[in-house]
Amino acid sequence: MGISTPTETANEPAKTNHVANPPLQKSHKIRITLSSRKVQVLEKVCTEIIERAKNKDLRAKGPVRLPTKTLKITTRKTPCGEGSKTWDSFEMRIHKRLIDLNAPTEVVKQIIVNIDAGVEVEVTIAA
């Protein structure tokens, strides 16, 4: 005869305390749109986001490089309007990148928490 424990009897197998698995979070198609005036900073942020996604075993597509928007302003050099008609032109270039992920929203929050200054992030969730 073996020694019986309180959870075990002769007719019943031993009961084990099963911890219920936490419910799996639903994956969503998530599109992250990054925009910046500085290309190097934008590319660095894109590679960081993709590396973090791969570390968490997520499917990541991108970065998709969208066309650069160029905003131009041409103005007179002299404030009063007198003198020779000389002009200054200024331009600002805005670069955009798209990254698509299949992940739960909580994981995406963890991925995009620390992003460099000067990069705007827009997150779109598609069902």
* DSSP secondary structure of the chain: -PPPPTT--SSSPPP--PPPPPPPPPPEEEEEEEEES-HHHHHHHHHHHHHHHHHTT-EEEEEEEEEEEEEEEEEESSSSS-SS--EEEEEEEEEEEEEEEEE-HHHHHHHTSS--TTEEEEEEEE-
Residue 82: inside a domain: yes
> Is residue 26 included in any domain, yes or no?
no
Residue 69 has pLDDT above 90, yes or no: yes
Q: Per-residue pLDDT tens for 42-64?
A: 999 999 999 999 999 999 998 99
How many domains would you assign to the chain? 1
What pLDDT digit, counting tens, does each position of 111-123 carry?
988 888 899 999 9
Is 96 within a domain? yes
**Which CATH number is 94's domain given?**
3.30.70.600
Q: Does 25 reside within a domain?
A: no
Domain residue limits at 106:
35-126
Verdict on whether the full-model pTM lies above 0.85: no
